[in-house]
A and B are shown apart, each in its own frame.
Chain A
Amino acid sequence: MDLHFLTIAQAAAMIKVGKLSPVELTAAFFKRIHALDSQLDSYLMPLEAQAMADAAKAEADIAAGNWKGPLHGIPIGLKDIYNTAGVRTTGHSALFKDHVPTEDAVTVTRLRQAGAIVLGKLATWEFAIGGASFDLPWPPARNPWNTAHDPGGSSSGSGSAVAAGLAMAAMGTDTGGSIRGPASWCGIAGHKPTYGYLSRRGILPLSFSLDHAGPMCWTSEDCAIMMQVLAGYDPLDPASADVPIADFAAALGGGLNGLRIGVPRHFFETDLTPDPEVLAAFNAAIEVYKSLGATVTDVTLSPLSKFTEINSLITASEAFAIHGRWLRETPELYGERGRLRIMAGAFVSAEDYVNAQRERTRLVQEVTATMRDVDLLMMPTRHITAPILGGYDSSVGPSLTRPFNMTGFPALSICNGFSSAGLPISLQIAGRPFEDHIVLKAGDAYEKATSWRGMRPKLEATLAAAAN
């Protein structure tokens, strides 16, 4: 059995009854990290000694009858903008290369309390903005489906590691698509929760009003398992929502009869030009949903460029508010892409920033009104498959993910096929605020009705071919 390709749901069932050892499982991941990650660069910092000690403790606790739940003994990775007590949190930047937090991020604390094993800190775009860069202290992560290609970002190491079987799950963050983008190009499930459902405290901020933390896993079911632990009110995060937490696992299954799906077709048929294979995969996925009992109608929203450009305006403004002092004093400690993207925020006037947030209120009202008639919105996550590493610029062109950072509505990316070149294609499912469980239910239903979750990157073969 390939332990590294088990899902959380599969591994948890085995760990609970003593058929799988957390120590054996964690060791299997480190064996694979040592063997393969030099070609993927998904990890900035493996934390083997601490992880093995934590796995041994988990094993002893479970053997003593103290199983904490389905994350107990599960090996995960953290995007290196999640603070970890006593362990460097660099943001993949020379500026923070010696930054050692004294506390874990709240989400990390919740994961540890649930018994998850932290394998290490994962690559990211510098401070979660820009793109794959070669002028930082560490190289950019690569795509395990083809290591010449971009894994997407900014949660690049998270997407790469989960797809490659170098972590069973990982944490990402998403300000304009940074969970869903790498989920898309790496062929995994990535969930950007409703804004306020998860605490952001202890995560290096990029854009206070747009940043979201969220899980990246092989399946929607695994994202649901992670969400059960991660979601919760944090009185010290000013954006945290004090709302009841759904029973995510209970929401899965049970069919999709009566589910109403809206498709903003103009987003990906006229507002930008999709890869024909992406469009064909989307249309095929919609047919699957119809066969599962859902009804589908087209809906119209504001042009995609409006969501995208206002998102960029707000991101740059808020990011510059954080980084302005450092960019004036030590710009040389940033890579070019991050440096320039954040510097651009210095040129946004206060009037334009406030009016961007006023326009955002209108967009939230518009999407809310549309979603009175449909339960979910569906579209491709990315209109193209993964490009060659280094060639992608996230600041260029409309983005299908940004509408759900602008509105804060939950959005999930799942794999819905592969291109003729063998690269993953993805479907995005968005829902109403705090109806993340319905989004995940729809993702889970599709994954179980199709065969895509049975396909994994043949990394050993890819690497052998690259070496020859």
Chain B
Amino acid sequence: MSEISFEARVRATGLKPKAEDMPKLEALVKDMDRAAELVRGPRAYSEEPLSAFRLKKA
């Protein structure tokens, strides 16, 4: 399967960055992709995310 180009990923977001923004944006997205690798390890199916959703008695 061929890798999706960065330009195609940008189009999918609906964003229209200026041409001169593209290299810097691509570098920042690479940082995001690297960060995402850190959270993709195995984990128990029941492991909960941290959440601020706490109901309080009315």
State the A residues within 8 Å of B (CB).
Answer: 208-209, 235, 238-239, 242, 306, 309-310, 312-313, 316, 327-328, 331, 336, 339-341, 343-349, 352, 354-362, 364, 395
Contact = CB atoms under 8 A, between A and B. Distances in A.
Given A238-B52, A364-B50, A395-B31, A343 B36 contact: no
B49 A348 contact: no
Contact of B17 (A341, A343, A349): A343
Contacts of B35: 309-310, 312-313, 356
B13 A355 contact: no
Contacts of A312: 31-32, 35
B50 A208 contact: no
A344 B28 contact: yes
5 contacts: A209-B50, A238-B54, A347-B32, A347-B33, A362-B47
Given A235-B56, A355-B40, A356-B39, A361 B29 contact: no
B41 to A, nearest CB: 8
Given A312-B35, A347-B13, 12 more contacts: A238-B54, A309-B38, A312-B32, A328-B16, A336-B24, A340-B25, A343-B28, A347-B33, A355-B49, A357-B51, A359-B39, A361-B49
A331 B20 CA distance: 13
Nearest to A313: B35
A309 B50 contact: no
Interface of B: 9, 13-18, 21, 24-25, 28-29, 31-36, 38-40, 43, 47-54, 56
A352 B21 contact: no
Contacts of B54: 238
B28 A395 contact: yes
Contacts of A348: 32, 36
Contact of A209 (B9, B17, B52): B52
A339 B17 CA distance: 9
B48 A358 contact: yes
A327 B36 CA distance: 23
A351 B47 CA distance: 13
A242 B56 contact: yes
B46 to A, nearest CB: 10
Contacts of B25: 340, 343-344
Given A309-B31, A358-B48, A331 B17 contact: yes
Contacts of B24: 336, 340
Contacts of B31: 309, 312, 344, 395
B38 A306 contact: yes
Contacts of A209: 50, 52
Contacts of B15: 327-328, 331, 343, 346
A355 B43 contact: yes
A313 B37 CA distance: 11
Contacts of B9: 347
Contacts of B51: 357
A310 B17 CA distance: 25
Contacts of A306: 38
A341 B36 contact: no
Contacts of B40: 352, 355
Contact of A238 (B34, B38, B53): B53
Nearest to B52: A239
Contact of B39 (A313, A346, A347): A313
A209 to B, nearest CB: 6
Residue among B28, B48, B54, B56 having the largest count of chain A Cβ atoms under 10 Å: B28
A341 B35 CA distance: 14
A208, A347, A355, A359 interface centre (most CB from chain B within 10 Å): A347
A359 B38 contact: yes
A340 B29 CA distance: 9
Contacts of A235: 56
Nearest to B33: A347
B8 to A, nearest CB: 12
Contacts of A313: 32, 35-36, 39
B50 to A, nearest CB: 4
A151 B18 CA distance: 30
A306 B18 CA distance: 31
Contact of B34 (A309, A316, A358): A309
A362 B43 CA distance: 11
Nearest to A306: B38
A340 B3 CA distance: 23
Contacts of A309: 31, 34-35, 38
Nearest to B53: A238
B52 A358 contact: no
Nearest to B9: A347
A336 B50 CA distance: 31
A315 to B, nearest CB: 10
B27 to A, nearest CB: 9
A235 B57 CA distance: 11
